[in-house]
Amino acid sequence: MAKKLKESTEQPIETSNSGFPTVRKISFSDLRSILVLGWRDFCRAPLFGMFFGSVYAIGGLLLMAGVFTLDMAWLAYPLIIGFALIGPFIATGLYEVSRRLENQTKITWSDILTIVWEQHRRELGWMAFVMLFIFWIWMYQIRTLVAVFFGFNGFATLDGFVEAVFTTPNGLMFLAVGHVIGAIISLILFTLTVVSCPMLLEREIDFITAMVTSIRAVFKSPIAMLSWGAFVVVSIILAAIPAFLGLVIVLPILGHATWHLYKKAVEPE
């Protein structure tokens, strides 16, 4: 009886220690697999993928239009890089499409758009706040670095900014420091969101638990996960170069693939 009593008193401690979802190790073969699955989901529901990809592309075009209208063309390059940081939240609808395809559930526009809209009332809304806050930090530090290396006058044209960056010592230092800080910010955001966004869509957990699980997933497979993050950022930047048109195809494939990455990296409930 004493032994049973001891086991019963120890049980709550074991439950507390296992409160976070279990993460699994990811390999490069898994990364190839999720890309194939992402392409498959896109081909199975192309209109949904192109819709969310178009929303993302139009958002990028509006940001660029605002930058050039305000004579701040020098912000175009950092804005494109920063814009890639909020991709995981924009892909929420794609996660839901993949989830329904996986469960062989009917997919309708009303259901998908309703699910996306309802996320502002759930924990994913707080996750969006985290991403936008980090995006703001990214843009603010760019303006700070410009002030430090070039003064507070800014640049009237993109050509003037490019010339100053690549032909002056201060410009080259600005480029080096900016990319180092940008890499750190991108790494932090990627680590916090790589699996947390699709997890918050599927599970009723708080966003802190989701972020901690995402961190644990990255630490579980650092090389594979960081390689995936670099691949995503480079793909989005390249897709954004031709007037953001490439994002219509690239974003949905990456979004669907991210869902499958989450399913491989985190044990089912």
**3-state DSSP assignment of residue 72:** coil
Q: How is residue 95 written in tokens?
A: 């996660």
Rg (CA), the chain: 21
Q: Residues 60, 106: contact at Cβ < 8 Å?
A: no
CA angle 43, 235, 101 (to 5 degrees): 25
Length of the chain as a residue count = 269
Once rounded to an integer, what is the mean pLDDT over residues 3-10?
39
- In the predicted model, what is the mean pLDDT of the chain? 83
Please give the C-alpha separations between residue 226 and each of 40, 78, 120, 222, 231, in angstroms, as whole numbers. 24, 21, 29, 6, 8
Q: Is the pLDDT of residue 186 over 50?
A: yes
Give pLDDT tens digits for 235-269. 888 888 877 888 899 999 999 999 999 999 999 87
d(Cα 251, Cα 7) in Å, to the nearest integer? Answer: 50
State how far Cα 256 lies from the chain centre: 12
- Reported as a single tens digit per residue, the pLDDT across 200-247 is 989 888 989 999 999 999 999 999 999 998 898 888 888 888 778 888
Per domain, the residue ranges of the chain are 43-265
d(CA 76, CA 87) in angstroms, rounded, equals 17
Beta bridge mates, 23: 266
pLDDT tens digits for 20-77?
889 999 999 999 999 999 999 999 999 999 999 998 888 888 888 887 777 776 777 7
The answer to whether the pTM exceeds 0.75 is: yes
State the burial class of residue 201 (Cβ atoms within 10 Å of its Cβ: 0-12, 13-18, 19+). buried
CA distance 93 to 17: 33
